[in-house]
Amino acid sequence: MRLKDHFLKDLKLSSQSFYFYMEIGFAIIIIAVLLIAVPENFDQSMTIYLHAEAPLPMVSIIDEQLNEDTHDELIWVASLSELYDALEENRSSVGLSIVQENQQMVFRFILQGYENERVRNILRTTVETAFAGALIEETENITLTTLQESPQRLSDRLSIVPVILTLNVSFMGLFIIAAYIFLDKQQGTIKALAVTPSHIWEYLLGKMLVLLLTGLFSGIITVVFLAGFNAHYIHLIPLLITTSLFGSALGLFIASFFETMTKAMGWLYITIIVLLLAATSYYMPSFSPIWIRLLPSYPMIFAFREILLDNPNIPFIYATTVGFGFAALITFILANHRFKNNITV
């Protein structure tokens, strides 16, 4: 009953504050930007500068073959020095020089220089093997097995949604709940708690529920506008609930170590930036060191991605949901324990 009163009081105060409408406005702006300014898929083609000193029929065959095999932009240049100049001008391009030397065609790939040895080995071996394919006997001793029957890849635009849901919805409470607590402290209203029958946990949970409601609202409108009927809302809602509660509980726990918002702000920002690092492994799955995999934001982003797939991994979504439910509970208990001793100080 007291929890309900706390929740309703905080909800009423929030709905009258600038912040509540700003969160909704922020979600609407993100939706508008993604729908209007972000293309469905990014152009990931690169520029390849080509130079050849070989018989014309050979050059024509190479040009034809390259145009067939690649979506990259191919630009022929007149000389090798022009090729080097072009690479220095455009640092995201590569070069290919084809020269005939002693009855041998030399394919010289000219990279920028930051590519490591493994990248060079891959390039050298794949090109050599592909060219040698015509010379060596066909092999049938390599087979490919794919575990998923109909794998699906999200569009580049839709791939942004899990990151937004993680950082702007689930971890939204991280800052805001701390600001709420410090505001109550500064205004002295928190001292009233000491003379009421209310428990600290009811007061804290009331605030968490307000943020949960705001998060659910902004999360659902984001998914509705960007994914439409393709998202699995039935799984999204429990995931949003537990991750949002965890974000708020984490914010409470961090805030419990500080006396003012300004003192807590630095640590809250550092926390959100560290959590943001999980997005690097989300966009670059071949880079996923153990310390990134241990960040709570890592499974969270991938679980939100599953929500948007036609055939989501249901056990993974619910394992994440339940895991964050437990994590929220433990973090909340710790935060409550700390606040019991210092909230009215």
Q: Which of 8, 74, 122, 314 binds other proteins (CB under 8 A)?
A: 122
Residue 277 makes contact with other proteins by CB under 8 A: yes
115 vs 156: CA distance, rounded Å: 25
Residues in contact with other proteins, shown as a per-residue x/- string from 72 to 101 under the rule CB under 8 A: ------------x--xxx-xx--------x
Residue 96 CB, nearest distance to other proteins (Å)? 10
Could you say which residues in the range 198-227 bind other proteins, by CB under 8 A?
none
43 vs 195: CA distance, rounded Å: 62
Q: How many CB atoms lie within 10 A of CB 290?
A: 6
User: CB neighbours of 107 closer than 8 A, spacing ≥ 6?
Assistant: 96, 97, 98, 127, 131
# residues contacting other proteins (CB under 8 A): 101
4, 51, 219, 223 from 215: Cα distances, Å: 18, 55, 6, 12
Residue 247 CB, nearest distance to other proteins (Å)? 14
Identity at 313, one-letter amino acid code: N
Residue 333 CB, nearest distance to other proteins (Å)? 25
Residues in contact with other proteins, shown as a per-residue x/- string from 4 to 23 under the rule CB under 8 A: -------------xxx--xx
Q: Which of 61, 119, 330, 333 binds other proteins (CB under 8 A)?
A: 119
Could you say which residues in the range 33-52 bind other proteins, by CB under 8 A?
33, 36-39, 42-43
CB 91, CB 78: distance < 8 Å: no
Candidates 167, 164, 181; CA nearest to 254 is: 181
Residue 326 makes contact with other proteins by CB under 8 A: no
User: CB neighbours of 303 closer than 8 A, spacing ≥ 6?
Assistant: 239, 316, 317, 320, 321
225 vs 156: CA distance, rounded Å: 16
Rank residues 38 and 193 by Cβ distance to other proteins and give the closer one. Answer: 38
Q: Which of 1, 56, 78, 147 binds other proteins (CB under 8 A)?
A: 147
Residues in contact with other proteins, shown as a per-residue x/- string from 281 to 320 under the rule CB under 8 A: x-xxxxxxx---x----xx--x------------------
Could you say which residues in the range 257-276 bind other proteins, by CB under 8 A?
260-263, 265-267, 269-270, 273-274
Residue 345 makes contact with other proteins by CB under 8 A: no
User: CB neighbours of 202 closer than 8 A, spacing ≥ 6?
Assistant: 2, 3, 6
CB 338, CB 199: distance < 8 Å: no
